[in-house]
Amino acid sequence: MLEHSDFNLKATQKTPEISCDINLGKITIKGICTPEDVIDFFQPLKNWIDDFGDSSINKLEISVFLDYFNTSTSRILLNLFRSALNLDEKGKQVNIYWNYENDDDDMKEAGEDYQSILGDLIHLIPISAN
């Protein structure tokens, strides 16, 4: 059972840091995402999201801070966001925050694409470049 179960992956040169905190109902994805096998890489996160539906936590917040991702990652992220949308439809309060540097038009456009598909579930958050 997922209850009180966190999930964390450290970033590599090709994969992002992923942290899932069950008690806070938060997922954070940060970094670059170009894994060799994107399906295999994201499967534990997909399982965690699916299992989250059985938890007693009523809110899920997903914050994405990606510097770059490839096309196959784009499709997987959409599937993960749809899994979160399914939780939303089951009564969980779900919000996805797509964070992008305010001068990164490609990442802003990617967030807008997700927003056009998933609607108000996606919130675009411009951040200042460091």
- Supply the angle between the helices 71-89 and 105-118 in degrees, to the nearest 10: 40
pLDDT tens digit at each of 130 positions of the chain: 444 588 899 999 999 999 999 889 999 999 999 999 999 999 999 999 988 988 889 999 999 999 999 999 999 999 999 999 899 778 899 999 999 999 999 999 999 999 999 998 899 999 986 6
| The overall pTM is greater than 0.85 | yes
Helix, strand and coil percent figures for the chain, each rounded to 5:
40, 30, 30
Half-sphere exposure of residue 119: CA atoms within 13 angstroms, side-chain side: 6
Quick one: pLDDT at residue 12?
A: 96
